[in-house]
Structure 1
Amino acid sequence: MKTILGLIAFALAGAALAQPLAGNAEAAKAKTSMCEGCHAVPGYRTAYPHVYQVPKLGGQQAVYLANALQAYKTGARSHPTMRAIAASLSEQDMADLAAYYSTVQN
């Protein structure tokens, strides 16, 4: 039953992203502090829950970034820190951050 509910939630999340919100890159500038602690450090590696290199956000496609944040929020992507951060974001926050990071290089 849990699996079925999870699949339904994932499908609904994907359907919601089929009609993405327009992001405001300028509005996102006030929202990036939660991202910069890890993603803005060149070569940064995290040690929780396992060691891996933190990916760069700058230059990624906005749709990819918004979908990734939504997947962390729903639990479709598994990373405790990212899930906690995404849980605090509204759909508009996600769209704004995605718009911002798609236009910068870091």
Structure 2
Amino acid sequence: MGKKNFSIFLGVSIFLLASSVAQATSDGDPEAGRQKTDRMNCAGCHGIPGYNNAYPTYPVPKLGGQHAEYIVSALQAYKSGTRKHPPMEGTASGLSEQDMLDIAAFLASK
């Protein structure tokens, strides 16, 4: 592949990636996501700098500014049980796809 073809390929790839990021964020309502995270008290764990999970001990990730696609993917995995963490599985089990998009849009905007 020549430099010109590679540049075109790279440009199209970046465009498609940016489009998917914008799509996931645009499908969610950040204000609705703020209300949902407040109601579920997500900041009770994810908003405390340096907070560690009790057992097994590991740092609780800060979610503000995280990519929307990652948040949706993680919530879907908790809901399906393919990602294990009992408190998060319980939280995600009651979320609709729209809830996940809204929460992701809010957290990605922080």
TM class by smaller structure = 0.7 to 0.9
Where do 1:1-106 residues align within 5 Å? 22-33=27-38, 34=40, 35-48=42-55, 50-104=56-110
CA-to-aligned-CA distance 1:52-94 (integer Å, 9 cap, x gap):
1000101111011000000000011010010000001111110
Alpha-carbon distance between aligned partners in 1 of 2:43 and 2:97, rounded to the nearest angstrom: 20
Alpha-carbon distance between aligned partners in 1 of 2:46 and 2:83, rounded to the nearest angstrom: 17
2:45 is paired with a residue whose SS is helix
5+ long unaligned stretches in structure 2: 1-22
The two structures, once aligned, show a CA RMSD in angstroms of: 1.5
2:76 is paired with a residue whose SS is helix
5+ long unaligned stretches in structure 1: 1-18
Larger radius of gyration: 2
Identity of aligned residues (%): 55
Alpha-carbon distance between aligned partners in 2 of 1:29 and 1:101, rounded to the nearest angstrom: 8
What TM-score does the superposition give when structure 2 sets the normalisation length? 0.72
Choose between structure 1 and 2: higher helix proportion. 2
